[in-house]
């Protein structure tokens, strides 16, 4: 197998492993499924090991295949880097960029950045899909996603924008008319606003216990349950009760004095992050790379996303 055949075979193998079938890999590469199968079989023959077990419905990497796919990606990365270094000097990114984003973050933080992205790269055509479900980027044909929360380990590249700090917040009017709130146990006498995600799980509230341990509790009994964190922030502003929400949902309300932070010295602000996710770099087009770089640059500067827990103390009740 010469160098050209090896590159062709590795591309077919990586695409088939990422997309789950020879047919999907063939569509991505612009060749026939039979050609993909032939390339993978040739690679296995050259290596002397089986890289994947395939049936009419699925592909499953062998142990050897799981090791080799990472090495194959690294090799393709090196080739991509060499090509990109030359192409980037003279090529303006063009084409459609499909982006998946949750409704709250999408409307508040992503959408305002799109005009600037289009001005910097006039050849790009952003296509935004606002969806709070977790989508499969490769299967559903997205180029990248802007995701906030517990970022799962996966075959995707995750470029962290920032840590998403959470706070417990309530309106000044609610706090004035309610019992004192000095310790987490005092929450039992308050109205709590819970967030139930589309998966059915309720977001738990976290506190720092003895010795720095983390103690989780459900916001029960809940006075109100919503499926959108932004709605929880709005309910808190309206005086319904206390909500646990990410800072970016309440930032403008804190600045305007419509909400106050409570139990800041006891509350554990979680381990959520905001990240741009996209398929492995070997599959990353210049139009996607340019979009990722621009969004990361701009999002990283947003004060609502950079606020530290110490700075949030200024908004305590």
Q: What is the pLDDT of residues 8-44, one digit of tens each?
A: 999 999 999 988 889 888 998 999 999 999 999 999 9
HEC string for 56-87: CCCEEECHHHHHHHHHHHHHHHHHHHHHHHHH
- Which helix (H) or strand (E) element contains residue 148? strand 144-149
**b/e code 39-49 from CB counts within 10 Å (16+ = b):** bbebbbeeeee
The predicted pLDDT at position 42 comes to: 92
In the chain, what percentage of residues exceed pLDDT 70?
A: 95
- What does pLDDT average to over the chain? 88
The predicted pLDDT at position 90 comes to: 55
> pTM to 2 decimals?
0.66
The predicted pLDDT at position 236 comes to: 97
The predicted pLDDT at position 86 comes to: 63
Q: Is the pLDDT of residue 307 over 70?
A: yes
The predicted pLDDT at position 244 comes to: 95
Q: What residue spans define the domains of the chain?
A: 3-87, 95-164+272-306, 166-271
Q: Is the pLDDT of residue 82 over 90?
A: no
The residue to which tokens 């210049």 are assigned: 286
Q: What is the pLDDT of residues 180-204, one digit of tens each?
A: 999 999 999 999 999 998 778 888 9
Between residues 240 and 311, the one the model is more confident about = 240
In angstroms, rounded to a whole number, what is the distance separating the alpha carbons of residues 182 and 204? Answer: 19
When pLDDT is cut at 50, 70 and 90, the band that residue 88 belongs to is low
The predicted pLDDT at position 167 comes to: 93
* Least trusted range by pLDDT, from 21-30, 71-80, 218-227: 71-80
The predicted pLDDT at position 32 comes to: 92
3-87 with 95-164+272-306: one CATH topology?
no
What fold does the segment set 166-271 form as a domain?
Answer: D-Maltodextrin-Binding Protein; domain 2 (3.40.190)
Distances (CA, A) of 18 to 127, 233, 237, 284: 23, 38, 45, 13
Between residues 83 and 311, the one the model is more confident about = 311
Q: Is the pLDDT of residue 91 over 70?
A: no
Q: Please give the average per-residue pLDDT across 115-143, as a whole number.
A: 90
* Both structure tokens of 311: 């700075």
* Both structure tokens of 240: 């319904």
* Both structure tokens of 220: 């029960």
Query: What architecture (CATH level 2) is domain 3-87?
Result: Orthogonal Bundle (1.10)
Q: Please give the average per-residue pLDDT across 89-117, as a whole number.
A: 88
Q: Please give the average per-residue pLDDT across 160-174, as a whole number.
A: 93
The predicted pLDDT at position 154 comes to: 67
When pLDDT is cut at 50, 70 and 90, the band that residue 123 belongs to is very high
Does the domain made of 95-164+272-306 have the CATH classification 3.30.70.1400? no
When pLDDT is cut at 50, 70 and 90, the band that residue 170 belongs to is very high
């Amino acid at each position: 197998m010469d160098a050209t055949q090896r590159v062709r075979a590795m591309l077919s193998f990586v695409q088939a492993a990422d997309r789950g079938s020879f047919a999907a890999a063939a569509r991505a590469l612009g060749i026939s499924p039979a050609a993909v199968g032939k390339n993978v079989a040739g690679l296995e023959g050259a290596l002397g090991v089986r890289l994947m077990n395939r049936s009419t419905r699925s592909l499953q990497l062998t142990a050897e295949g799981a090791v080799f796919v990472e090495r194959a990606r690294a090799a393709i990365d090196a080739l991509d880097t060499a090509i990109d270094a030359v192409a980037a000097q003279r090529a303006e990114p063009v084409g459609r960029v499909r982006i998946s984003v949750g409704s709250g973050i999408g409307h508040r933080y992503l959408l305002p950045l799109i005009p600037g992205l289009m001005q910097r790269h006039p050849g790009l055509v952003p296509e935004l899909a606002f969806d709070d479900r977790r989508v499969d980027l490769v299967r559903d044909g997205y180029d990248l996603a802007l995701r906030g929360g517990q970022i799962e380990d996966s075959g995707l590249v995750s470029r962290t924008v920032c840590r998403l700090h959470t706070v417990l917040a309530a309106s000044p009017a609610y706090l004035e008319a309610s019992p004192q709130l000095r310790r987490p146990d005092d929450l039992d006498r308050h109205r709590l606003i819970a967030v139930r995600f589309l998966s059915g799980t309720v977001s738990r509230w976290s506190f720092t216990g003895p010795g720095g341990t983390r103690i989780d509790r459900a916001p029960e009994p809940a006075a109100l349950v919503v499926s959108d964190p932004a709605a929880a922030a709005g309910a808190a502003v309206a005086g319904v009760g206390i909500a646990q929400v990410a800072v970016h949902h309440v930032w403008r309300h804190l600045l305007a004095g419509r909400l106050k932070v409570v139990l800041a010295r006891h509350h554990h602000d979680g381990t959520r992050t905001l990240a741009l996710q996209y398929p492995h770099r070997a599959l990353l087009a210049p139009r996607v790379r340019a979009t990722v770089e621009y969004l990361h640059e701009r999002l990283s500067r947003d004060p609502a996303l950079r606020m530290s827990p110490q700075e949030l103390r200024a908004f305590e009740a």
